[in-house]
Amino acid sequence: MRINYSDRGPSPLEPEKPGAAGERDSTFGWWGAFSIQKFVNQSPLYHTHADATGWLAYLQQFYDRNFWFADGGAQVWAYEETYDNWQDRYGMDAVCAVYHSGHGGMDGNGVFFAPLGAAWDGRSDAVSNRMALGNEKANYVFWSTCDSLKVTGGHSPIRTWAGPNIGFRMIFGFETVSIDSPDYGKKFWEKWRAGQTFCDAWLNASWDIHHGQAPSVAAAGANQAEAVNRLDTERNFYREHVPDNWYAWRWYHAREGVREPLTRLPAQQQIVRLAPREASAELAGLGELTDFPSAALQEIQVERQGVLNATSGDRVISTDSRGVSWVRLATPNHRNTQQLPTERAIEAARSFAERYARGAELVVDSVHDLMQNSGTKDGSEVGHPVSLETHVTFRQVFDGVPVITPDQGLIRVGLDNDGTVVQSQIATRQPSGVTREPSTGISPPEPKSGKSTAAPEGRDPREALDAAQRTLLAHLSAVTAGEERGAAAEQEIQVQDVADSFQVGYELEGDEAYPAARKLIEIGSRDSMFRTRRWVVAPLAR
């Protein structure tokens, strides 16, 4: 296998209009972004700037952004029809693809609200029913916020977004409260580089961050078949607007947890040393296991993201810089909408997972569905939710203790309703066979004074998480609040643990696995429309 390095990855622009190397005209109108961490009247966020710039970074290989408005630069005028293409350069409708990262919420009438960083015309919320997107340039609208694209409980993309849609093709968001993470935008392009469609890349990037949240994607079209096909196939940015007679939408739904979370380590755990990775060998091994044509693996391109992939017909194999591999093995039969029973899905998935486990010990972790629904804009025809695929996740374990890093130490197997394995994410690591005692567990030597020193005790997982949470909240307040509000802002933050999120296990970092505890916290008042969630992680031994 020959690996060729390129400074740039493949372009997501429509094939007939590629960006010329080195040509950077900010007024070309391809993409722009908004991100807010300091709000006029809401609790702060910490990772939205990194989220938005992670999305922009891949695109700016081809053309510069039209804009990136952060914090106080994100104002209402850029979201409403009068000025959403201000100077033919700035605003939601001034670019083909636009990304917004911040707080979001939806009221009982299906109206979406996005609080902003400064007031304009006496207002500081962008509101969906005051928007008109797609009559100028917008075709791909990304809402990296909570509750931006709700699809259950009487809500639908039609209810919220058909009115504001004057021509855009696709919209991306969340059915649920989402994690405050810097990685959505970056991971979206990593998944796309692996060979995934826009729809799959958004769903899978979000799943990597937290398996319990529900990302969602909707597409418009002249008819049902066109809208569904857009979800199935679209992976380039097109400038041409489309009619929105029909909408089709997909989301991930967590069916059930199979494994009870571990809440206490069974004994003193060792640091597990992991075998060094070799990306080309991983890709070649995947090719061999999947009977991939050897000719398709003779020459592979890799660029700064570190994603290697190969394609043969409808089949794709890929691996990224962190050892997360993805394979697409078959075209799913989405005509069969009879949900695959859990036990049958686990049995079929286990057979596949054990073959691809790279020697890892696995336990069944959870099951979730790829759901779909569709309907007409005028409401004359509305479908009902159906499960298109069942995804079974297995966790890697070391001496009976599972890996708890969300996107590491696992195999996820996707099956259509015929029971055929159609795709899989493989992120297991081979132990080197070497373990070491954590330095935190080593007793210091007795001093000359003769005073004995007690051996270090193991950290209590809940106490360790409490300490990590206090540090996180203090840092969040200090960084995102104004100096005059720092102490007050910390007091104002309302925090609750997310039920059933506490667990202990191994975190994977670099070439080692170490014992740790992890939980989710929700920040914001329970009766507020605007909340967010954060992972809290505490090492128990290093």
Closest CA to 240 of 142, 171, 169: 169
pLDDT at site 170 = 99
Q: What percent of the chain has pLDDT over 70?
A: 92
pLDDT at site 491 = 46
Mean predicted confidence (pLDDT) in 116-140: 98
Closest CA to 408 of 300, 317, 516: 516
Lowest mean pLDDT segment, chosen from 42-56, 119-133, 432-446, 518-532? 432-446
Average pLDDT across the chain, whole number: 90
pLDDT in tens, 466-482: 999 999 988 877 765 55
E-strand ranges in 260-385 read 271-274, 299-302, 308-312, 315-319, 325-328, 361-376
**Count of other CB atoms within 10 angstroms of residue 267:** 9
The DSSP code for 175 is S
Class of the CATH-defined domain 21-254: alpha beta
Contact assessment for residue 66 and residue 116, using Cβ atoms and an 8 Å cutoff: no
Strand 512-523 to strand 503-509: parallel, antiparallel, or no bridges (unpaired)?
Answer: antiparallel
**CATH 3.30.160 residue spans of the chain:** 461-539
Class of the CATH-defined domain 461-539: alpha beta
Distant-in-sequence, close-in-space partners of 137: CB < 8 Å, separation ≥ 6: 29, 85, 93, 94, 95, 96, 239
**CATH 3.40.50 residue spans of the chain:** 21-254
CA distance 218 to 157: 7
Lowest mean pLDDT segment, chosen from 65-79, 111-125, 385-399, 475-489? 475-489
Contact assessment for residue 64 and residue 56, using Cβ atoms and an 8 Å cutoff: no
339-347 contact pairs (CB < 8 A, 24+): 339/369, 339/386, 339/387, 339/390, 339/417, 340/387, 340/390, 340/415, 340/416, 340/417, 340/419, 342/255, 342/256, 342/258, 342/367, 342/390, 344/419, 345/390, 345/392, 345/415, 345/419, 346/258, 346/392
pTM of the model: 0.93
CA distance 49 to 57: 12
pLDDT in tens, 192-220: 999 999 999 999 999 999 999 999 999 99
